[in-house]
Amino acid sequence: MAMALLEIRNLSKTFPLGESVFGGGASGEVRAVDDVSFDIEKGETLGLVGESGSGKSTLGRLVLRLIEPSAGSIRYEGRDLLAASHGEMRRLRRDMQIIFQDPFGSLDPRMRVEEIVAEPLVIHEKLSREARRARVAELLRAVGLDESARTRFAHEFSGGQRQRIGIARALALRPKFIVADEPVSALDVSVGAQIVNLLAQLQREFGLTYLFISHSMPVVRYLSTRIAVMYRGKLVEIGKTEEITERPTQAYTRNLLEATPRISA
């Protein structure tokens, strides 16, 4: 069998418990991710579900090495990600991007779309102004935005269009792997469905691999090749989408499935 794109082994992340607002008692640490092992296969969408606080976002950030694990290992294309040097990591970061629920939470609203999308190119690639502009136009087209969006400001766009801009930015460096952390949770169902379809289309077009984090079972079921279920930092179940949705082995998974209505895609 071909080598997995990512091999995650015994990954853990503990956070120190802060001062308890309830006073007294609380001490020690939170096991946000607790001894988790799984593979992500090249070209698949691995859906990651679980209730709020189960450790999904922490796991997504660990896999990208945006935060350092307390224990465990991550191999990307066979290479030990945690042993990568600063320079090597810089190169690997181009391959691995993240899409957030709110792509502009951390961005200056006074930036033009062009600057937002081109920023990774400015940091990582030495392109002429013309080449950069052409690349931005190509990216905007890829996510279904008109080229005239280029000179406008992010705040002028609707939520769905903003998510498209965020996706264009994530694609700027031609990544192979994308963690999508609740990318449609803040959107209306119909707008969210358009973004989900865009992600599926981009996956085919660019051969992307996704770790798709979502609260929404219907969305995860529609998009995912396999589904992984987290509960209190543990990976309690992982398998093909059909197996997990039709024959879940864990009561917890059954509850998640029952809590959300089926939709036909």
Ligand X SMILES: Nc1ncnc2c1ncn2[C@@H]1O[C@H](COP(=O)(O)OP(=O)(O)OP(=O)(O)O)[C@@H](O)[C@H]1O
Q: Do the Cβ atoms of 225 and 45 come closer than 8 Å?
A: yes
Q: Do the Cβ atoms of 256 and 250 come closer than 8 Å?
A: no
Q: Do the Cβ atoms of 181 and 213 come closer than 8 Å?
A: yes
Interacting partner of 30 out of ligand X, Mg ion, none (Cβ under 5 to 8 A depending on kind): ligand X
Interface with ligand X (CB under 6 A), residue from 4, 8, 40, 50:
50
By CB under 5 A, name the binding residues for Mg ion.
57
Residue 58 binding ligand X, by CB under 6 A: yes
| Nearest-approach distance from CB 52 to ligand X, in angstroms | 3
Contacts of 139 (CB under 8 A, 6+ apart): 117, 168, 169, 171, 172
Instruction: Using the minimum distance from each CB to ligand X, give the nearer residue, 63 or 149.
Output: 63
Interface with ligand X (CB under 6 A), residue from 20, 53, 88, 91:
53
Where does this chain touch ligand X (CB under 6 A) — which range of 51-59, 84-92, 106-114, 237-245? 51-59
Interface with ligand X (CB under 6 A), residue from 54, 97, 163, 224:
54
Q: List residues bridging with 15 in a β-sheet.
A: 30
The token duo for 237 is 């179940």
Q: Do the Cβ atoms of 236 and 227 come closer than 8 Å?
A: no
Handedness of CA 220, 225, 229, 230 (dihedral sign): negative
Contacts of 86 (CB under 8 A, 6+ apart): none
- Which string of x and - marks every residue 11-40 that binds ligand X (by CB under 6 A)? ----x--------------x-x--------
Residue 57 binding ligand X, by CB under 6 A: yes
Residue 183 binding ligand X, by CB under 6 A: no
Instruction: Using the minimum distance from each CB to ligand X, give the nearer residue, 199 or 229.
Output: 229
Binding site for ligand X (CB under 6 A): 15, 30, 32, 50, 52-58
